[in-house]
Chains A and B, each alone.
Chain A
């Protein structure tokens, strides 16, 4: 550090909040990632039941996460009926961890 530089201060909470990953920050998507982080794979029905969302709402949030590369979708058939399952990716896990780290930085005393 040169003589003229300002001394390093605590991180700016506003900047930290603005830097939060918007894809993860949305409450439904954050809950989706938290649910998927606890299992290897979960069926659509489980996510729908656990979060109490409509099919369309859940699908659109899942699609957003899939576009970001945070989750993977697997479509299979069980007794001739289509079954959609989701799993969190390494990128999704990293994004979730990074989100909580950024949040701690923004609000060290809690939310």
Chain B
């Protein structure tokens, strides 16, 4: 007599695939990283150009809020088999802490600039885009509220990078190589985000395809 028993390996694989699918269904940005890859260098170049402070402020707020749309689009894109909630990870506290830290840091920097200390010690930062940074800080709570908690860490880091691109773009260094180095770092980051987007996208497709294949491996009835 033979007894067909289930293979624990197949079921462990099924559980792992669900965990990975849940990550894309809920928190992984996948192709959404392309948004960061595009807006970071654009923000830097815009800050470096002669765009007014008000224009820069609007741009910063629009980019921050645009992230919400990107999150919603990517979530829909990666829920081809249906929505799955992943096990909650820490992230919300980190982003709010980050925001509080950046807010306090910006306030201290503003006070230092008002006292004339910044322009003396760091002449390159004599034209810091305060209004745009303020717009970012003001938009952050809305972004954190309107994306799921699983996305707040990404949002927090994204806003921090955006702030860095704004400050970097507005800084004026005496040595030209410093400006070129800033741009190179930003372009490197951009390329990394493109790579991450493509890698995660391929992984998400692979996970969905393997989940479909598992039906046959588990010997379940397949309906057309």
Contact = CB atoms under 8 A, between A and B. Distances in A.
Contacts of B223: 52-54
B11 A31 contact: yes
Contacts, number: 108
A28 B83 CA distance: 20
Contacts of B3: 17
Interface residues of B, number: 36
A46 B214 CA distance: 14
Contact of A28 (B5, B22, B220): B220
A30 B11 contact: yes
A50 interface: yes
B176 interface: no
B15 A50 contact: no
A43 B220 contact: no
Chain A facing B: main interface SS? helix
Given A17-B3, A50-B211, A51-B215, A43 B84 contact: yes
Contacts of B12: 34
A46 B220 CA distance: 15
A32 to B, nearest CB: 10
Contact of A44 (B4, B16, B82): B82
Contacts of B218: 27, 31
A50 B80 CA distance: 11
A42 B8 contact: no
15 contacts: A30-B11, A31-B220, A35-B18, A38-B19, A40-B22, A40-B87, A42-B22, A43-B84, A46-B25, A50-B18, A50-B212, A52-B221, A103-B6, A107-B5, A111-B5
Interface of A: 17, 27-28, 30-31, 34-54, 57, 85, 100, 103-104, 106-107, 110-111
Q: Which 7 A-B pairs have the closest CB atoms?
A: A38-B18, A46-B82, A45-B82, A111-B5, A38-B15, A49-B81, A34-B11
